[in-house]
Amino acid sequence: MQELTKTINAMKGVSVLVVGDLMLDRFVYGDVDRISPESPVPVLSITHEDEMLGGAGNVVSNLCALGVKSAVFAVVGNDANAERVLEIARSYGADTNGIIKDASRPTTLKTRYLARHQHLLRSDSEKTFVCDAAIEKKIADGVAKAIKSAKAVVLSDYGKGVLSQSLILQIIKLAGEQKVPVLVDPKGNDYLRYKGADVVTPNRKELAEASGFANLKEDADIVTAAEKIIQSCDIKCVVATRSEDGMSVIGAGAPQHLKTQVREVFDVSGAGDTVIATLAAVLATGADIVTAAKIANIAGGIAVSKVGTTPVRTEEILESLAESSPHLALVADDAKAIEQLRKWHAKGLKVGLTNGCFDILHKGHVTYLAQARGECDRLIVALNHDTSVKILKGPSRPVNDQDARAAVIGALSSVDMVVFFGAEKAGADNTPCALIEKLKPDIYFKGGDYKLSDLAEAKIVQAYGGEVAIMGLQEGYSTSAIIEKSKTPSR
């Protein structure tokens, strides 16, 4: 585990090139309450939309989430969606100088319509003809220049016309001259297109189709199919993704079969992009393919537990590595907390939130948190950060710093996530109101003798339709009392 952790941390700052089919993924969310009177189809009442990069763009977003320096070479249209693609890619920190606009085609757009995360329809807007020779030359020239400082190349082939066989072979030749590994996310059945590549990453179905072998259920079946690809197509290594059965590495010594970490599969879209991005990032550190596959296997398991094509961050991989240790709640920033709530809500779970300093954990705290957890499926503790505690309690507090308090609270089985909040200076808002407005928990718990009308938090929760629960506190227990008692000499 220590070596894997070291390798994961080494991914930050390495350089990876991505060449392939770039697209825009649009997710349209809403509710369905009726059937259209015009025809027997559901009427989607749209509530909100999300946009993210798809195809090669999802590889880029995953690389950027891992801290990798990513440069992308691709083709988009000369349209508004192209500008949106460029805007998103730049916001990730990717180098977009290799993205070429082609007025003869639209930017590939895939729009998915969902009702409460139930997929209703997908519509595609695209042209898939092969790019003309002038555009191909621009891409090849750009790759030839950029590859001198790169440590790995990903060919993300979605069959949209960017990766012609000619361009693929040019890039593999350029990479070979620089001793840079080339990884391919393949498309179609003809893997001779990728002759000379270091790694191809088919899923079980793709491997079966390309090898001509059906029913690839057992490890031995996967090995036989992969070895046929390696021998007939002059490919060095096959990393086959096998859904719930994990991942197999064939071609680098004895075959390795990696079991997946058991997770609830929530959305498989984009998981292959996460796997190849992680493989490339690890290989770019100089690690071997088996180590890369072990880390990519973890990342792929995280990816399928997310909603939509959401990239996997380095921190998530490290957290997953540590999951075999005793219960520890996730300590999250606001963005990570919002993402986790999205997943919990999509699973139909009721999420509660409470807040406090929890400076010295005592029986009253433990009892209160256990009671709150009994009223919801997941419990978040919003923890006053150190400056916030000083404003509330005075310069001698907190007794324990915020990281120590988060570690103790997070070790309780009743707590599922810890998020810091609070004012940075006296006179500023020192309540969890802003955090509650961002997270929108289903139920907000407050301990003590309060009236709803006295709580600013209650007004926010009720405004979005949430519930507020005033919970009683155990008499005789308080942090202040414990501190005072510790100052009294024992008799």
Which residues are annotated as catalytic? 273
- Burial status of residue 330 (CB atoms within 10 A of its CB: 0-12, 13-18, 19 or more): middle
To 10 degrees, what angle do helices 56-65 and 80-92 make?
20
Long-range contacts of 64-67 (CB under 8 A, 24+ apart): 64/92, 64/93, 64/94, 64/311, 65/92, 65/311, 65/312, 65/313, 65/314, 66/11, 66/12, 66/277, 66/278, 66/281, 66/312, 66/313, 66/314, 67/11, 67/12, 67/13, 67/314
Residue 167 is inside which H or E element, if any? helix 165-178
Check whether the bond before 398 is cis (ω within 30° of 0). Answer: yes
Closest to 251 measured CA to CA, from 181, 356, 303:
181
Instruction: State the sign of the Cα–Cα–Cα–Cα dihedral 260, 263, 265, 270.
Output: negative
Instruction: For residue 124, give the 3-state DSSP assignment.
Output: strand
Q: Which residues pair with 71 in a beta bridge?
A: 17, 95
Closest to 249 measured CA to CA, from 277, 212, 219, 274:
219
Distance, CA of 11 to CA of 247 (rounded, Å): 21
Residue 48 is inside which H or E element, if any? strand 42-55
Distance, CA of 1 to CA of 286 (rounded, Å): 18
Distance, CA of 32 to CA of 404 (rounded, Å): 46
Closest to 299 measured CA to CA, from 246, 358, 355:
246
Per-residue tokens: 23: 């697209």
